[in-house]
Structure 1
Amino acid sequence: MEVRKIPLEQIDQDDHFFLITYPLNPKPLTSSIRRVGLLQPVLLRKLPSQKYQIVSGFKRVLACRDLDFETIDAFVYDLESLEDLEGFRWNLWDTLAVRTLNLAEKAIVLDKLLHRFGLEERGIVRDYMPILGLEPSLKVLEGYLQVHQLEEEVKDYLVAKEIPLKLALELLRFSPEDRKQILSLVRPLELNVHTLKEFLTLIEEVIGRDGIRVENLLDDSGIRDILANLMLSISQKTEKIRKILKRIRYPRLTGLEDQIQEKLQQLRLPKAISIAPPPFLEGDQLKVTFQFRDKKDLENVLGKLHELADKEELDAILMWIAGP
């Protein structure tokens, strides 16, 4: 098939029938085309309206438009020679040949296969999910279909942070308004997956127990003030907010943790020695770590540890973690 030059004004750039790419950001490609030109023709389908429908190459079309190109190189098919599902499959193979799809793109593919092209769920699981690098499971399929229904700003965050499906689904337990408020909290903090999961769990448990909205939690706890504090680093904000959420969720536990930390400070341990209570105070043993450079250092450290055995502060800590 020969390459044709198609006027950009005749291409319907709002027709997303075959679109997979998310987010649709042509800027990086625009810079490349500006330097070296368009290296690969796009794939179009001519409609009865005489407009052209993009089958593959959405970002290339948008980049050429932004560069004020009048025409674009394209392979052109008509409706009779390129059926809907075949065109979609071509776009999918074309994309997978150069990169892996992100969470939102996989959700788009699966949703279109089911709802736009009418494929059966079991056929999608068998024929398409392995190609997408997914476990061939109806449960996983349902998860991606749910992700597809999330608000765009939520999907933008999930894609930018490369959030896995299991954690993304936890956001579905919140209302759309609560998700919006959660985004206002987590986006500025640049949380890793582990901390994001911890925050979501704490928030869900607090609002469920107290019957409040996320907005009320953020307003009444002082969390918004911490986010707005320009004197704090991101890591400092994250740790302060984490402590607030834990204190609200586990008031007795966090109070006891504070008491233990106060007693540890009163012990005035040298820098070479540290003592840590069990995580969440689940356990009855303290963890001691120490450092030394030579035998003399080791003797000094062991002497300090021996002295600790007679400290009242240590007795109090041991009593607290031992429980009733």
Structure 2
Amino acid sequence: MTTDFSAATSSQMVPVDSIDCSPGPYCMSFGYDLNPLILSIESVGLLNSPILLASENSHRMVIIAGYRRIQALKRLRLHSFPCRVFPASALDPLHCLLINLYENLSTRKLNDVEKAMVLARMGNLMPEKTIIEQYLPVLDLVPRRDIFLLYKNIAGELGETGKRALAEGRLSLQAAKMLLDLDKTARDEILRFFSNLMLNMNQQRHLIDFIMDISIIENRSVPNLLVDPSIREMETDVRMNAPQKAKAVMKWFRKRRLPSVVEAERGFKKSVSELRLPDGVRIVAPPFFEGPDYRMEISFRDGRQLAKVLKDLSTIKKLVDIGNPQEKER
């Protein structure tokens, strides 16, 4: 599919009042910072004119490409600026969307929310099979139907708070996928809860699992669980910064969800500390004590030091007692 740009007028001054400045049907900008663009326009002027489509039903033109540029120009209080204008009959909606897509891809990478916006709009204009096979690779996505449906759901169901967190990198794509499997009430409450913490990708995934498991086990709604006094106290504790709050919250939920494992870990650490291991030696239990194998790590500078460490270890008789403390009690 090609576009005949000769159908558009050459760049002409267009009053801002004659443009529909809403995002419109072709916009794919989300979670952006206008300030660098404003600085660029102030410094060297408008380098690339917005592309507009004349409207048959309104005196206002529709933005095909250049939504952010127009927002920046409005912020600079410019009342008219150069644009390229296509006649209303020159382009169909798919042409307009693809012009915007490829113009954006020529200058920047789209974030996950913007990719979702593109795919959702394509879903109304072409067959699903075509989107998956031809356009997911264009967006650096694996051409699979589940990927297409995930991004379509991000566009339609994640909500403003979730989209903003995803676009800004505060919410991982995996966490967004997990949240989309929940009902809206639970999803919105977890997103609110996450906004007060600084969680990495793994913490987000584990915390969603913990919250949902505890909600089911204790027969409590997610909103009811997340207003637990202990949780609210951690959320509002001004003595802790965001990473410290995240660590405290993870510890609380883990203990609530896996009390026997937490107790076993406490007993294991106590028994290891009582061994008085040589410097540079640590013993690691299998995650959740679910595997049979423990691991010993030894740090040493040379063979002589290693030989000494091994000799010292051979004198620690209680090494034979290392294991899951709870199994010893059975």
Q: TM-score when scaled to structure 2? A: 0.87
Give the Å deviation of 1:19.
Answer: 0.8
Partners of 1:316 and 1:83 in 2: how far apart?
72
Partner of 2:150: 143
Alignment of 1:129-168 (within 5 A): 129-149=136-156, 150-161=158-169, 165-168=173-176
Q: 1:164 to 1:186 in 2, by over 3 A?
A: closer
Check the 8 A contact 2:267/2:325 in 1, yes or no: no
Give the Å deviation of 1:169.
Answer: 1.4
Give the Å deviation of 1:182.
Answer: 1.6
Partner of 1:96: 105
Equivalent of 2:280 in 272, 276, 281: 272
Give the Å deviation of 1:257.
Answer: 1.4
Partners of 1:123 and 1:268 in 2: how far apart?
64
Q: 1:201 to 1:221 in 2, by over 3 A?
A: farther
The CA RMSD over aligned residues, in Å, is 2.4
Partners of 1:257 and 1:294 in 2: how far apart?
32
2:321 matched to 1:315?
yes
Partners of 1:125 and 1:317 in 2: how far apart?
51
- Deviation string for 1:267-324 (max 9, x for gaps)? 344542222211111223332222233556435423432233236xx62645546796
For this pair of structures, how many residues does the alignment match?
320
Equivalent of 2:134 in 127, 132, 149: 127
Give the Å deviation of 1:75.
Answer: 0.4
2:268 matched to 1:260?
yes
User: Unpaired segments of 5 or more residues in structure 2?
Assistant: 1-8
Equivalent of 1:62 in 61, 71, 74: 71
Amino acid at match of 1:139: D
Check the 8 A contact 1:25/1:59 in 2, yes or no: no
Give the Å deviation of 1:238.
Answer: 2.5
Partners of 2:23 and 2:303 in 1: how far apart?
75
Give the Å deviation of 1:41.
Answer: 0.6
Partners of 2:327 and 2:109 in 1: how far apart?
48
Amino acid at match of 2:72: A
Check the 8 A contact 2:189/2:223 in 1, yes or no: yes
Partner of 2:55: 47
Partner of 2:309: 301
Check the 8 A contact 1:285/1:321 in 2, yes or no: no
Check the 8 A contact 2:275/2:318 in 1, yes or no: no
Query: Percent identical across equivalent pairs?
Result: 27
Partners of 1:296 and 1:186 in 2: how far apart?
50
Check the 8 A contact 1:29/1:60 in 2, yes or no: yes
Amino acid at match of 2:321: D
Give the Å deviation of 1:89.
Answer: 1.2
Partners of 2:206 and 2:77 in 1: how far apart?
48
Equivalent of 1:228 in 236, 239, 253: 236
2:284 matched to 1:242?
no
Partners of 2:170 and 2:141 in 1: how far apart?
15
Give the Å deviation of 1:139.
Answer: 2.3
Check the 8 A contact 1:15/1:53 in 2, yes or no: no
Partners of 1:4 and 1:57 in 2: how far apart?
15
Check the 8 A contact 1:143/1:169 in 2, yes or no: yes
Partners of 2:234 and 2:273 in 1: how far apart?
25
User: Unpaired segments of 5 or more residues in structure 1?
Assistant: none
Partners of 2:243 and 2:323 in 1: how far apart?
28
Q: 1:295 to 1:239 in 2, by over 3 A?
A: same
Q: 1:261 to 1:219 in 2, by over 3 A?
A: farther
Give the Å deviation of 1:218.
Answer: 2.5
Partners of 2:327 and 2:94 in 1: how far apart?
63
Partner of 1:179: 187
Q: TM-score when scaled to structure 1? A: 0.89
Give the Å deviation of 1:63.
Answer: 0.2
Partners of 1:43 and 1:173 in 2: how far apart?
38
Amino acid at match of 1:224: R
Partner of 2:89: 80
Q: 1:318 to 1:146 in 2, by over 3 A?
A: closer
Q: 1:178 to 1:253 in 2, by over 3 A?
A: same
Q: 1:140 to 1:298 in 2, by over 3 A?
A: closer
Partners of 1:194 and 1:3 in 2: how far apart?
50
Partners of 1:59 and 1:273 in 2: how far apart?
57
Partners of 2:109 and 2:312 in 1: how far apart?
56
